[in-house]
Amino acid sequence: MDCEVGMPQGRLSKDAVKVWIVKETLGNIVGWIILGVLLYLDHLYSWKEWIGWILIVIAILSVVFAIWSIFIEPFLLYKNWRYDVNEEFLQLKSGAINEMHQLVPMTKIQSVETNQGPFLRKYGLYSISVETMGSSHSIPALPKDVAIELRNRIAHYAKIKEVEQ
């Protein structure tokens, strides 16, 4: 069975960028609050001088990483994220700097599910999780109708039976 595998064409929702920006912004705010408390405690209790310098270096690095994670990375991730499904493979291509292209054989897929956390719910998006014996894969930020159709198609191709609970 010789099969030509092309590049995946499916794209994430454009709202994925908004979800990633909101998550990263909130994560950075929490980190800065903790860092601010540590800097205040350093000032208040006059900890050893080197602790203050380390906190300042961490503060500077956190600003640089925040600029990357909020203003650059989400757009690169969206630009490079692709997926595709056929009867033989689930294809996933992602990565802002290190590009990863995965082929998951349908015969290895054991379960598939849709997930929706609070950030995805705000934009009406779902992620799909695919489990194999040794690994887990996900497709983030798909519109509801696309996510459910894709989940059902993967389940059909992988011959997964729905389990009654």
136-143 and 125-132 as β-strands: parallel, antiparallel, unpaired? Answer: antiparallel
Closest CA to 154 of 87, 82, 81: 87
The fold for domain 82-157 equals PH-domain like (2.30.29)
Residue type, 13: S
Q: What are the residues whose beta carbons fall under 8 Å from the beta carbon of 65, sequence distance 6 or more?
A: none
Q: Are strands 100-105 and 82-85 parallel, antiparallel or unpaired?
A: unpaired
Cβ partners under 8 Å of residue 98, min gap 6: none
Look at residue 1 and tell me whether its pLDDT is greater than 50.
no
In whole angstroms, what is the distance from residue 57 CA to residue 84 CA? Answer: 43
Please, is 18 exposed, middle or buried when counting C-beta atoms within 10 Å of its C-beta (0-12, 13-18, 19+)?
middle
Mean pLDDT over residues 15-28, rounded? 97
With beta carbons less than 8 A apart as the criterion, state whether 84 and 9 touch.
yes
Q: In the chain, pLDDT over 90 holds for what percent of residues?
A: 88
Task: Give dist(CA 15, CA 81) in Å, integer.
Answer: 13
For residue 3, pLDDT beyond 90: no
pLDDT in tens, 73-83: 999 999 999 99
- Kindly report whether the global pTM for this prediction surpasses the value 0.75: yes
Question: What is the C-alpha separation between 112 and 132, in angstroms, rounded?
Answer: 9
| pLDDT, average across residues 129-156 | 95
